[in-house]
Structure 1
Amino acid sequence: MGKQALYSHEKSSGHKKRSTTMLGNKNISMMLASGQAKSINETPSAILGDTHNIPVDVTPKPSSNANIEAFFNPENILEAEIIWALHNVENHQSLNSVNKTIPVLQKMFKDSVTAQRMKLSSKKLSYLITFGLAPYFEEELQDKLKNCDFYVACFDESFNKIAQRGQMDICLRYWDNTENIVKTRYYTSVFMNEAKADNVLECFKEGLKPLSLHKLLQISMDGPNVNWKFLRLLQEDENVNILDLGSCGLHVVHGAFQAGHKAANWAVNDFLRGIYWLFKNSPARRAAYRPLTDSDEFPLKFCSVRWVESVSAACRALQLLDNIKKYVLNTNTKLPDTTTTKNCKIAFFATIATSLECFLKQFQSAAPLVPFLNILKPLSEVDIGFRTKKFLAEGKVTEREKLDFFQRL
């Protein structure tokens, strides 16, 4: 490139715009230098020669704005933005919501200098939470865990619909020496492709990587067999002694209730689901149901995972059974000429679930429940009733079948 090309480039609008921008920016070395800035003797003319002079102001202008602190918000503004970021996270608000709430806040408090100087956008809020607040709380939690003798890890796997991948959420329970209480804190989440024991172990160790596994006292998890294999592999690989408290009692109760319902072959769950979806998202059916029954109550949703907690759905079905029957008969639907005992089955379903629900409410708690393990009895001491004992004695049942029967209780 010759001199003429340089002269031509100097006169272009792009070069003039960039030159103006550079002259308006301040060099950060000028702000960090102590005392007065050194004078710069070399100029562009010394480099290019005297053939052409480029007017560049290289002498720093003395000004109070030369201090780097002038480019940062005061502490009260930063504190207000941090509080708003914490409020946004705690209430599960979207990042884009700040684009509307901050202008409203500034309109409401026109006399507040703090409110007027707050400049929070969705992108700034994201950076503030991800690279400012999150590392602070993570480092604080790690310091507390390093100072405690033991900690308990709790994890659960679920499906992340957004990422379309499995997700392991890890929480830690520890003794806080400053407040003298047991705390449970969310620690991290790890994505996983498969829920096999080897994959669960790999993701679990990856999530707890900064922490020492030798301080791990116990692992709280649900009861699938894959988790028992995971626990065995962890003890073999890391040579750690982990307190074994058995499987989750709540899952056992839910599973036992579900197994009993399946053995009875009453299909109460199908009936409860059917009457719920009969009126769900159907304004026409609801409009026909209300004047016919003079009622605004509709069936509740049945949870197919937590069976015992569907007592309310069963009780509502018993309450509305006559109204639903009246509605179905009024629709001119051809019905089989049979006598139904569905109300008796639902009543029995609700009675058993109600008797078990008190156990779930009492033991689904954050309070210490390990001392209650002392009241557990061996399977041989469980009173199964004299009728069952009589049938076991009279029937041709092997010892293995008896053991399987006791283990299913």
Structure 2
Amino acid sequence: MVLNNSTDRALTHEEKITRAECYWAMATAQLGFSYDSSQNIPELFASMFPDSKVAADYAMKDRKLSYVVSHGTGYFFIRELIKDVLKAPAYSLLFDETTIVGVRKQLDLHIRYWSEYQQGVVTRYWKSIMLGHATADIISHHLLDSLKSDGLDLSKLLHLGELILSFIYYRLISVVTGRDNPNVNKAVEAMIEKEVRSAQEKKTGNSSSKGLLPIGPCPLHIIHNAFKRGFSQNDWQIEDILYDFWFFFSRSSVRREDYLKVVETIGVGIGRFMKRFVITRWIERELTRTLPVTNNFLQNLQFMHPLQRHHESSSKSLMIIARDLPQLLSDDDLDYLNVERRLYENETIPEEWYQQKTTSGGSDEVIKYHPVDHYWRHVFAIKNSSGTAKFVALPKLIKSLLSLSHGNADVERGFSENAALITDDRSSLSDISINGLRATKDAVKFYGQGKVHEVPICKGLLDNVKEAHSRYQVDQERKQRILKEKEAIEAAAKLTKNKELILVEKEQNLIDQRKILQEDLENASKMLNEGNSRLEAAVATKNFAGVEMAQLLIGGAKNKLDVLKTQLGDNSDQMNQLRKKLKK
């Protein structure tokens, strides 16, 4: 149930206070306020609105604000996002990584899909994951765990591609990974592809599922590098000249005004001052304008354009793409689609669904086209005479195709928002706080077009903010439990290590002892040999005194040998027992 912001009678006094907390939490995320800035907010509101009971009882300071954002608004909006994505027939996953303050690597996840709430295609922030190492296994593991833990249907994941930030390679309709190693990208794609195929096979029972949608590579970044290398190998200095041209006009208000007057006279139609020269931007515009689309899939996608509705190739292109996506459309869906295609071609569609005509300063008429999802939103809303939707299979296909990502602007924009939220003095923000702030800011854009007061306050949002503290406590208890378990494991490991060190030390003592016993054994053997030699010599010379001395040596040596052999045996037994303990 959505509560109108002006109908205070629908809310109790406590709910009005909670609503105020919702608004301030959203404003904090949207405007990039620090939590510390809310330390004196209750007193400020009470002074600003002395006649307001809500302001008088408002008590949310910095600590409460932090868990309201992380475990209240952020928690609620992420789950609302998941609900909206689950209604879509397919979605694309966008992800990129960057290093943030505190030298932490942040992996941002975005989802592009057809939103039933907005009735159009949207790219929404989903979550951020903090990484140390970012190998293919680690990235894939985090992506799959996130998809499964939030209940997103893997079989509906339509597309995954790559963008290499080092300007080596990227895909035109793709998901941004931000890795600078193409081998990592390929490995991630292969692992996700395997899981998607498995999910599709379980869902459809069809072992010939296509998995992720493959789209050929675009060579724009390769061409960018080629041009850059070419300019660096000659003396034209084109880039420097154009940069100086921009600098010359941008640093003088008089020259800037003269420039704009000349541009207006020429009729170029530039309303603002020129952008700073970026050579790759100019090359990309020219390539986009002149290069042919050689990818068959992209060529066939042109049937979605409103002006292509009656083109002779559109019907064929539509069915080619539909048959190429068995993971989306069953055989029955294809039959319905074939019928709906003909109905669509013969439908009377007003021009205002896809174009808007405006009049410029003169008498010239300027035609601008609406975004393609604006057009299809109207088509999907067409009803039969019975009041039911005229198109059923066609929306499923179009919504899926429009969910394909065609750039990294949203992800890169997310990094700018991230930099504004996570400044140097906020480097200690926890992962869940970062997720809460980003998710709340994204929701303000999605539900309120960037205006906090335009976000509808529903009962679910109020309940989640009320439950934020208990959810925060549960989360803290879970963290404490994990910490204690970790400490117990570390203590046990330390104890085991200490025991091992003691055993190793005992082993070394036994080895040293055995070495001494071996030396004593060798000396006793020498004494026995000496006694035997003396005995032989004394007997030969009939030297009775010599015989007596020899017998003393022999007797002493034998006694010593007996003792040493016993000690060596004990040493061996102790060594064997010790090594058995070390093996356990």
- Scaled by the length of structure 1, the TM-score of the pair is 0.48
Q: Which has the higher helix share?
A: 2
Larger radius of gyration: 2
